Structure 1
Amino acid sequence: IWDTAGQERFRSITQSYYRSAHALILVYDISCQPTFDCLPDWLREIEEYASANVLRVLVGNKIDRDDREIPTHVGEDFAQRHNMYYLETSAKESDNVEKLFVQIAAELMEQARCKELPRYDEANLQNINRRTTTIDMTCCSH
């Protein structure tokens, strides 16, 4: 996880990380319009440097604050237009932060499961410490 806090001094560094990223989280402050206004710039970088298949998540943060400037529906609409998942969080209160990472992990696991992975017949399975795990290999029904 690389947290650049949207600072300009990290722009050249972040470009090199886009290529190997599996997920990118764009976070804006729901109480600060300029943070939302910068999102198109970040999306341009993502489109230029990241894989076309990268999971993109838009997060409206600081929902614990009373001085909201960006309504929820505005964030949701932006996310939908740009093929992104959307979630609102409060890092201060830990609201939806775990949910965010659990959902990202679940989506990445589903993407990995849906790829052409090698299949092993039972003769080739290794039993590590006498424990085995069965994984349903049916794929991508959503």
Structure 2
Amino acid sequence: MACDLFIKLMMIGDSGVGKTALVLKFVDDTVKHGKLSTIGIDYKTKMLWMRGKRVKLQVWDTAGQERFQTITQQYYRSAMGILMVYDVTSEASFQNISRWNEQISKHADKDVQRVLVGNKADAEDIAVAVGRGQELAEKYGIPFFETSAWFGENVNQAFIKLAEMVIQQRRREDEPYIPDSLSLSKDEPSKQRACCVRQ
């Protein structure tokens, strides 16, 4: 089924922070079992409804390992929104957000929208308090969400907020009016066909 607007989102962050788990929970409402790492880059699609308008989200899931950085850098330029993800049980992944933010500054469009996500909020061994995530997000001037891909806490909210930010940016650029009301579609990605592709 055709869409009215196409939005490309990108996930970045260290290996093991739960980027793939977040994508699976958002797109398929499934829980990822095990610790299978993304090799290179992969993507899934999700349809959003906006008062009868159909918006296709294409979410790119990138590998966090250093050896894949040259692969993923080429995808920054076409991303309209980026989720920077860290693991709340890993101080190192939180500290590395500054490095990921620098990658965005170097390789992405200057108007790309960003949100900060602290994943694995359901864990017991929390190393990064929620207040620290909020402070870092305020420093960057972006929204912050603490999520649990296992229970779905704030997962939809993070993706939808980023999509809304992209839409608002497009409206400021005098693109066609898009209504503000968003809701999730039940369409399965496998039944969607490519449309409005901008890469």
TM-score range, shorter chain: 0.7 to 0.9
Decide which of 90, 95, 98 is 2:156's aligned counterpart. 98
Which has the larger strand fraction?
Answer: 2
Point out where structure 1 has 5 or more consecutive residues left out of the alignment.
Answer: 119-133, 137-142
Partner of 1:139: none
Equivalent-residue separation in structure 2 for 1:61 and 1:135 (angstroms): 30
Decide which of 97, 108, 114 is 1:39's aligned counterpart. 97
Quick one: percent identity of the two aligned structures? 40
Equivalent-residue separation in structure 2 for 1:135 and 1:46 (angstroms): 26
Deviates more, 1:102-111 or 1:72-81: 102-111
Asked if 1 retains the 8 angstrom alpha-carbon contact of 2:118 and 2:145, the reply is yes
Partner of 1:65: 123
1:83 Cα shift? 2.1
Equivalent-residue separation in structure 1 for 2:141 and 2:130 (angstroms): 16
Partner of 2:22: none
Larger Rg: 1
Equivalent-residue separation in structure 1 for 2:117 and 2:93 (angstroms): 11
Equivalent-residue separation in structure 2 for 1:80 and 1:21 (angstroms): 22
Q: Is structure 2 residue 134 aligned with structure 1 residue 76?
A: yes
Shift in alpha-carbon separation, 1:106–1:65, aligned structure 2, 3 A: same
Equivalent-residue separation in structure 2 for 1:85 and 1:91 (angstroms): 18
SS at structure 2 position matched to 1:41: helix
TM score, norm. by length of structure 2? 0.57
Amino acid in structure 2 at the alignment position of 1:55: Q
Equivalent-residue separation in structure 1 for 2:166 and 2:61 (angstroms): 19
Higher relative contact order (CA 8 A, sep 6+): 2
Equivalent-residue separation in structure 2 for 1:58 and 1:117 (angstroms): 26
Equivalent-residue separation in structure 2 for 1:5 and 1:93 (angstroms): 23
Q: Is structure 2 residue 147 aligned with structure 1 residue 89?
A: yes
Decide which of 17, 29, 43 is 2:87's aligned counterpart. 29
Decide which of 82, 92, 107 is 2:165's aligned counterpart. 107
Which aligned segments of 4 or more residues in structure 1 are displaced greater than 3 angstroms? none
SS at structure 2 position matched to 1:2: strand
Equivalent-residue separation in structure 2 for 1:115 and 1:49 (angstroms): 21
Point out where structure 2 has 5 or more consecutive residues left out of the alignment.
Answer: 1-58, 180-199
SS at structure 1 position matched to 2:60: coil
Amino acid in structure 2 at the alignment position of 1:12: T
